[in-house]
Chains A and B, each alone.
Chain A
């Protein structure tokens, strides 16, 4: 094997690495393209750094939920068998954990879905612009616009879920320290009680966003029009 053979093998490995990197990126945008292009010539250096960083990101995301659960359980442990226990009884903790897991799973599903090609916001916008430019039929344009609107809604839903989960996570961490403080200082549980109320309010909100309708009032006519168009015998 001479230097040219080695260079060819290196290039093939780099090209394959680039394809793998592009396909495994959560979003297929210019950053994913940059990561893939960098993989082609520098795969022995770039791929270990890229994959280690991505693994770390995933670990942080998954441990965030676990940390919140741990904080909740520690908060309960702090008040167990004390006069403060009614603030955070085991039953309430179990229900909170259930809701939290459900919301986290839903968020994970949503982000996974949005990483797929069919849910790419830029592509949907580009498609509408392209159809407008070439004066496509109103029916085609309406479908493309509806698709774009749905993609935008899903993205905003994911962002809202992420914010709600982050806020809840911080609130539960604060509740834990407040309960521990109340237990050891013997101070009034007033503030902890306020936090518990706030936590429940947030969990209710999470439940609402989980169960809420995808189509809101302002888009209902458009959705109806879309369904009617699809149901017409000549709609193809």
Chain B
């Protein structure tokens, strides 16, 4: 089994077509599952820790744990939806094949994140600030997501119906993955925060945050009234600023 897992890991890097075929054919999918899980945990862990280099300290450990956790939680939530979308659009795969394909795609995406880690590390080392850092991370996720969806597309078929399935699945994945990661933030850690929390208090949503970060990176700050729960004092604050709050 171990040698099979390593050989599948190699295939995951070099031959996505073979991985897609393997998922479609069914058979013993345990080596593919384990190799993909390993790639996902290691890849996302490395990228998470790299993101946290902007803050350092305990954040490295937290982000290294939370990013794989958020990706796994996303997989748990989106696989049934993917199965339903594919079956509904007339391209049914076995449920176990669908799980293997989705997890392999996530594993491949995590490996792309590992490949992008040096760039992210270098950017933070050269002084990239918090909000552009968030946008850089979002761009890395987008690239990794494209690599993952490419594998999914090979699995469901490279035609118009396949594109339709992958587009719908991509929409579900984007919303679910984004919100799951949002619930498990921070991954970078605000430079102004006095301590590193494992989880931030729940506020707004992933979509709000994406809009806000985009505006903040352009120098536009919105003033909102929110509760600064970490310090326990209500009051107006500049959302998205790097000023202490």
Contact = CB atoms under 8 A, between A and B. Distances in A.
B29 interface: yes
A34 to B, nearest CB: 9
B94 interface: yes
Given A42-B76, A45-B75, A56 B99 contact: no
A140 to B, nearest CB: 37
A129 interface: no
B99 A57 contact: no
Interface string B95-107: 1100110010000
A52 B72 contact: no
Given A31-B1, A42-B72, A48 B99 contact: yes
B95 A57 contact: no
Contacts of A48: 95-96, 99
Contacts, number: 40
A45 B76 contact: yes
- Chain B contact-residue range equals 10 to 19
Contacts of B95: 48, 52
Interface string B1-39: 100000000000000000000000011111001000100
Interface in A58-75: none
Nearest to A55: B96
Nearest to A51: B96
A49 B76 contact: no
B233 to A, nearest CB: 26
Interface of B: 1, 26-30, 33, 37, 72, 75-76, 79-80, 94-96, 99-100, 103
Interface of A: 31, 41-42, 44-46, 48-53, 56-57
Q: Which 10 A-B pairs have the closest CB atoms?
A: A52-B96, A53-B28, A48-B96, A49-B96, A49-B33, A49-B29, A53-B30, A45-B99, A48-B95, A44-B76
